[in-house]
Amino acid sequence: MSVQKRAWWGFAAGLVCVGWASAGENLAEPHLSVVPRTTQEQARIDAILQPPTDFSKPETYEALSGGAATAPRRTDGRAFSQVAKDLPEDQRLDFELGRAMFEKLWVASPSSTRASDGLGPLYHARSCGSCHINDGRGFSGTDGLLIRVSVPDGDGGTVPHPTYGGQLQQKALSGMQAEFQLAISYDEVVVALAGGESASLRVPSYDFDLKQGPLGDGAMISARVAPAMIGLGLLEAIPSETILALADPEDANNDGISGRANVVTSAEFGVPMLGRFGHKATLPTVSEQAAAAFSADLGLSTPLFPWHWGDCSEVQADCRAAPHGGDPEREGLEVDSRAMRVVNLYSRNLSVPARSDVTSPMVLRGKELFHVSGCAACHIPKHVTHRLDQAIAGSFQLIWPYTDLLLHDMGDGLADGRPDGSATGREWRTAPLWGLGLVAQVGGQQGYLHDGRARTVLEAVLWHGGEAETAKDKVVTMSPEDRAALLAFLESL
Q: Is the pLDDT of residue 379 over 50?
A: yes
Determine the 3-state secondary structure of 150 from DSSP.
Answer: strand
Confidence of residue 111 (pLDDT cuts 50, 70, 90): confident
Find the angle CA(162)-CA(164)-CA(102) to the nearest 5 degrees.
Answer: 130
pLDDT, tens only, 310-363:
999 999 999 999 999 999 999 999 999 999 999 999 999 999 999 999 999 999
Q: Distance from CA of residue 483 to its chain's centroid?
A: 27
DSSP 8-state code for residue 383: E
Dihedrals φ, ψ of 319, to 5°? -65, -45
Find the angle CA(377)-CA(378)-CA(380) to the nearest 5 degrees.
Answer: 80
Q: Is the pLDDT of residue 15 over 60?
A: no
- Residue 292 CA to residue 301 CA, distance in Å, equals 9
Segment 352-377 mean pLDDT: 98
Distance set, CA 489 to CA 48, 58, 227, 358, 455 (Å): 21, 12, 21, 8, 18
Alpha helices in 128-279 (DSSP H): 128-131, 232-236, 240-246
Kindly report the number of other CB atoms within 10 A of residue 476's CB atom.
15
- Residue 244 CA to residue 253 CA, distance in Å, equals 15
Q: Is the pLDDT of residue 8 over 70?
A: no
Pairing of strands 427-429, 407-409: antiparallel
Verdict on whether the full-model pTM lies above 0.85: yes
Find the angle CA(473)-CA(402)-CA(490) to the nearest 5 degrees.
Answer: 60
Instruction: State the virtual CA torsion across 138, 141, 144, 146 in degrees, nearest 10.
Output: 110
pLDDT, tens only, 404-461:
999 999 999 999 999 998 899 999 999 999 999 999 999 999 999 999 999 999 999 9
CA atoms within 13 Å, Cβ hemisphere of 19: 5
Q: Is the pLDDT of residue 112 over 50?
A: yes
Q: Is the pLDDT of residue 66 over 60?
A: yes
Distance set, CA 450 to CA 140, 145, 389, 426 (Å): 9, 10, 35, 12
Q: Is the dihedral of CA 106, 79, 58, 483 positive or negative?
A: negative
Confidence of residue 18 (pLDDT cuts 50, 70, 90): low
pLDDT of residue 24: 55
Q: Which of 490, 270, 181, 234 is nearest to 382 (CA)?
A: 234
Task: Determine which of 33-47, 218-232, 359-373, 388-402 has the lowest per-residue pLDDT on average.
Answer: 388-402
Q: Which of 459, 466, 416 is nearest to 202 (CA)?
A: 459
Query: Left, alpha or beta for 20 (phi > 0: left; psi -120 to 50: alpha)?
Result: beta
Q: How many residues does the chain have?
A: 493
Q: Is the pLDDT of residue 11 over 60?
A: no
- Residue 99 CA to residue 339 CA, distance in Å, equals 11
Segment 44-55 mean pLDDT: 96
Confidence of residue 197 (pLDDT cuts 50, 70, 90): very high
Dihedrals φ, ψ of 186, to 5°? -135, 140
pLDDT, tens only, 68-89:
999 999 999 999 999 999 999 9
Q: Is the pLDDT of residue 109 over 70?
A: yes
Segment 234-252 mean pLDDT: 95
- Residue 410 CA to residue 276 CA, distance in Å, equals 18
Give percent above pLDDT 90 in the chain. Answer: 89
Q: Domain segments of the chain: what residues? A: 3-491
Confidence of residue 115 (pLDDT cuts 50, 70, 90): confident
Q: Is the pLDDT of residue 113 over 90?
A: no
Q: Which of 280, 214, 212 is nearest to 426 (CA)?
A: 280
pLDDT of residue 12: 47
The angle that helices 480-491 and 361-372 make with each other, rounded to 10 degrees, is 100
Which helix (DSSP H) or strand (DSSP E) does residue 51 occupy?
Answer: none
Mean pLDDT of the chain: 93
Q: Is the pLDDT of residue 242 over 60?
A: yes
Q: Is the pLDDT of residue 490 over 60?
A: yes
Q: Which residue has the higher pLDDT, 15 or 274?
A: 274
Kindly report the number of other CB atoms within 10 A of residue 171's CB atom.
17
Which range, 7-11, 23-27, 476-480, is most confident? 476-480
Number of H helices, E strands in the chain: 14, 17
pLDDT of residue 483: 98
Residue 184 pairs in a beta bridge with 206
Q: Which of 433, 479, 492 is nearest to 460 (CA)?
A: 433
Alpha helices in 333-376 (DSSP H): 337-348, 361-372
pLDDT of residue 7: 43
Distance from first CA to last CA of the chain, Å, rounded? 44
Q: Is the pLDDT of residue 4 over 90?
A: no
Which helix (DSSP H) or strand (DSSP E) does residue 177 occupy?
Answer: none
DSSP 8-state code for residue 438: G
Q: Is the pLDDT of residue 2 over 70?
A: no
Q: Which residue has the higher pLDDT, 115 or 485?
A: 485
Cis status, amide bond into 110, omega within 30 of 0: yes
- Residue 11 CA to residue 451 CA, distance in Å, equals 18
- Residue 454 CA to residue 446 CA, distance in Å, equals 8
- Residue 144 CA to residue 66 CA, distance in Å, equals 28
pLDDT of residue 14: 39
Q: Is the pLDDT of residue 243 over 90?
A: yes
Q: Which residue has the higher pLDDT, 327 or 230?
A: 230
